[in-house]
Structure 1
Amino acid sequence: MLITTISHVAAFKGVDTPTRRALFAERDRIDTAFRSVYGHPALFFEHGVGAQRALTADLHCTHAHHNALPVPFGAAALDGVVERLCVSGLSPMLMTGDEAQDWYTTAAADDYYYVGDLSRHYRIDYAAAPPRRLFRRVLAGLLELTAPDAVTWETCSTPPWTDPRTAHLGAIVRQPPKGSIWGGA
């Protein structure tokens, strides 16, 4: 599931305080929905686009969005993601919730990655363009998905929305809270 705003925001890093607070509140809501439908907590990640690349044509998405996935391993999933990122030569930096909020207050000059759950937050800062589909590859490996569409799920032959639980999840999250800045699921 993607969490995004209705009005255009290039990256969540550097947004105004109400939008940032709403993002973290929406993550709480999505985590609750995932737990009720799938029995698993949510794992969140964002490939944030820095100001220097926000206007270039090589980007596949210049609208801020947090990816939310229900992950069957709970906290161990985040541990596995961080471990695989380290093996890939990256250096995820652990942040507390307050540190994550502070980090998000500063606009991104360069691209960045965020990965976390409701209690732990990791950031990866980049001076250059990061590898594309990094989290897809990491998650596919962690979940032992070997099918070709495990990483390029846009071409998936069995779309995830055919899972009957998806309709139930949609019913739960379809209507954002009144006065929300979100465009829904």
Structure 2
Amino acid sequence: MLHWLPFCTYLVVAIIITIDAFSRYQQFGKRLTVFACFCYFVIILRLCLTPISFSFISADRNLRYFHGVPYNLIPFQQVDLEWFLNVIMTIPLGILLYLIGRKSPFVVIICLSFLFSFFIEGNQFVCDFLFQIGRVADIDDIITNTLGGVIGFYGLKLFDRGIIDKIIQPFFLS
């Protein structure tokens, strides 16, 4: 049961932040964006900070260990399905970042995507150390998650023209 403590703690924090954000926005579209952020964050927490009994990590990676906690600091040892899934997993992050601040400069999007990814990987390392959740902190995940956030942001920015702009306009928080 202790393995689930990180997930449950972050879930409570996410609920409190979402309730606070709901009180700030009265329009349905903006509330839907806030709710989408909440749902995305909970899904990421479930995918990344809950205990697992299997691993996608294959034997081809050269993992290091810190008190039994595996981590990888050597990038691009293996470009596999997991690599691409991490990019896909964070494309919605970029889309949400666009809805939150569509005029944000490139460096801000890179930094926010990186910080979100570092948050995930750092928590995986710490939570595996403290609660043995069976996760691997991996530099490739930081790179691919950052890339996914940038792709999501600029992908939506590319389509934010004409009719699409009118459709997504009510969902912008900024």
TM-score range (shorter-chain normalised) is: under 0.3
TM-score, length basis structure 2: 0.24
Whose radius of gyration is greater, 1 or 2? 2
TM-score, length basis structure 1: 0.23
Specify which structure has the higher proportion of helix. Answer: 2
